[in-house]
Amino acid sequence: MTRLLDAPERFGPLPQMGGGFIDAIEQSRLVGRGGAGFPVATKWRAVAKRSGGRAVVVVNGAEGEPRSQKDRLVMTWRPHLVLDGAFIAARVLHARRVILYIGERHEKARSAMLRALGERTEPEGALVTVAAAPARYVAGAESAAIHFLNDGVATPTTAPPLPFEQGVDRAPTLVQNVETLAQIGLLARLGQAPATTLVTLAGAVMRTGVLEADRGTTVADAVRGAGGPTESSRAVLVGGYFGSWVEPEVAWQLPLDHETLRRHGLGLGCGVIGLLPAGACPVCETAGIMRYLAAESSAQCGPCFFGLRALADACSRISDGSSDGNDLSRLRRWVDEVPGRGACRHPDGAALFLSSALRVFDREFANHRAHDMRRTA
């Protein structure tokens, strides 16, 4: 079967697509690749039902996750497949607008997309506008993208209304990740979506970067495909900064697909697999990521802004040795009080990440001695 990154850069003109195409998506059991892993067919049906020729399609290439590179890669190397997916969405959902929402720092990706757009002759090309997504973690969230396109402010908003009810221009809106749209493109072209997932390997692997994993591929296979680990691993971060730390011996056997991981209580998220080398300090690493996530709170909800800051501060005090000895018990208590208390899922993701750190690095957090942070950086 053709894989995403092996597919021809460009196929011929788009085949005709009817409403029956949503059934084909449903049969392929495709889920969104932006992080939430939501079933694509369900989302399309919800928009199709309300569209009435007004729907808006947002092509989400914001890719704000610092360690992820796969969205940029798809836009840069297979822009026509992304446009295929976007045009099909526009056709099937009777959309009035298509917006390419591309991270402002992803210049190569944007120019590749614009070049590809210039080569297209389908009528959907005339529906397309381009927006530069601010380079912040939350800017890629569905509601933040819609808020930005409506009001110029890329912060998440409360739901309801959900995007399919009221999104860009208050019209039913489909916000779909670029990898997902490329998958849709291949599904339309070949009658079958490739059962693959793009993952970004980060940290202590020989070749960091993007890999296309076939269904059934395990973390161990992917790491082997990237030349193996540079040294023995202390833990594996599955799913990026909103994911979880996992013990290496457990992680190696995990398959890289959303469904199976969910059954393990994990998530593939945006597809980042990060290897923490045994020589690094897990506490300092966790504290650094928590500081980042706290700083990325858009300061709209108190529990997120103050909660994440308190969590990050406590982590930092443990990591730099200035803790009064109570911070670890505070962390264990507070980490359960943050989720579900923000308008968006930012606090939930950060708390999930920290919970996994407290579990997997239990020993290190309890026995952490201050040391020169530069040594572990």
Partner 1 sequence: MPDTLLWYTTRGAGAVTLILLSSVVVLGILSALRVQTARWPRFLTTGLHRNLALMTLVFLALHIVTAVVDPFTHLGWAAALIPFSSYYRTLWLGLGVISFELLLAIAVTSLLRGYLGHNTWRAIHWLTYAAWPVGVIHGLGSGTDTWSAWMLAITAACVAAIGVAIILRLTIGSTDPLASARATFRTAVDRREVR
Q: Please report whether residue 204 would count as binding partner 1 according to CB under 8 A.
A: no
Q: Which stretch binds partner 1 (CB under 8 A): 49-57, 79-87, 214-222, 297-305?
A: 297-305
Q: Please report whether residue 132 would count as binding partner 1 according to CB under 8 A.
A: yes
Task: Name the minimum Å distance from CB 41 to partner 1.
Answer: 24
Task: Name the minimum Å distance from CB 340 to partner 1.
Answer: 11
Q: Which stretch binds partner 1 (CB under 8 A): 115-123, 209-217, 300-308, 346-354?
A: 300-308
Q: Spell out the residues 6+ positions from residue 50 whose beta carbon is closer than 8 angstroms to its own.
A: 164, 165, 172
Q: Which of 18, 20, 53, 160 touches partner 1 by CB under 8 A?
A: 160
Report in angstroms the alpha-carbon separations of 220 from 120, 148, 197, 228, 265: 40, 39, 15, 8, 19
Element (H, E) at 134: none
Q: Which of 28, 51, 155, 319 touches partner 1 by CB under 8 A?
A: 155
Looking at the Cβ atoms of 73 and 75, the one nearer to partner 1 is 75
Report in angstroms the alpha-carbon separations of 79 from 50, 82, 84, 241: 29, 5, 9, 26
Pick from 40, 3, 26, 36: nearest CA to 271? 36
Q: Which of 118, 152, 265, 325 touches partner 1 by CB under 8 A?
A: 152
Provide DSSP, 67-96.
Answer: T--HHHHHHHH-HHHHHHHHHHHHHHTTEE
Read off φ and ψ for residue 35, nearest 5 degrees. 145, -35
CA 209, 210, 213 angle in degrees (round to 5)? 135
DSSP state of 64: -
Q: Please report whether residue 125 would count as binding partner 1 according to CB under 8 A.
A: no
Q: Which of 130, 220, 250, 310 touches partner 1 by CB under 8 A?
A: 130
Looking at the Cβ atoms of 60 and 197, the one nearer to partner 1 is 60
Q: Please report whether residue 158 would count as binding partner 1 according to CB under 8 A.
A: yes
Q: Please report whether residue 340 would count as binding partner 1 according to CB under 8 A.
A: no
Q: Please report whether residue 129 would count as binding partner 1 according to CB under 8 A.
A: yes
Full strand arrangement of the beta sheet holding 209-214? 209-214, 196-203, 272-277, 233-238, 244-246
Q: Which stretch binds partner 1 (CB under 8 A): 21-29, 128-136, 212-220, 366-374?
A: 128-136
Q: Length of the chain in residues, anyone?
A: 377
Q: Please report whether residue 300 would count as binding partner 1 according to CB under 8 A.
A: yes
Q: Please report whether residue 44 would count as binding partner 1 according to CB under 8 A.
A: no
Q: Please report whether residue 66 would count as binding partner 1 according to CB under 8 A.
A: no
Looking at the Cβ atoms of 10 and 341, the one nearer to partner 1 is 341
Looking at the Cβ atoms of 104 and 214, the one nearer to partner 1 is 104
Residue type, 166: Q
Looking at the Cβ atoms of 156 and 271, the one nearer to partner 1 is 156
Q: How far apart are CA 236 and CA 337, in angstroms?
A: 25
Place of tokens 């040795």: 321
Task: Name the minimum Å distance from CB 343 to partner 1.
Answer: 8
What is the distance, to the nearest Å, from the Cα of residue 357 to the centroid of all Cα atoms in its chain? Answer: 20
Q: Please report whether residue 118 would count as binding partner 1 according to CB under 8 A.
A: no
Q: Please report whether residue 139 would count as binding partner 1 according to CB under 8 A.
A: yes
Task: Name the minimum Å distance from CB 93 to partner 1.
Answer: 20
Q: Which stretch binds partner 1 (CB under 8 A): 51-59, 155-163, 324-332, 348-356?
A: 155-163
Looking at the Cβ atoms of 9 and 107, the one nearer to partner 1 is 107
Termini Cα distance of the chain: 42
Q: Please report whether residue 99 would count as binding partner 1 according to CB under 8 A.
A: yes
Looking at the Cβ atoms of 76 and 166, the one nearer to partner 1 is 166
Provide DSSP, 183-236.
Answer: HHHHHHHHSS---EEEEEEEESBSS-EEEEEETT-BHHHHHHHTT-BSS-EEEE
Q: Which stretch binds partner 1 (CB under 8 A): 210-218, 277-285, 299-307, 319-327?
A: 299-307
- Yes or no: say if 175 and 146 are a contact pair by the CB < 8 Å rule: yes
Residues of this chain that bind partner 1 (CB under 8 A)? 99, 104, 129-132, 134, 136, 139, 144, 148-149, 152-155, 158-161, 297-300, 302, 305-306
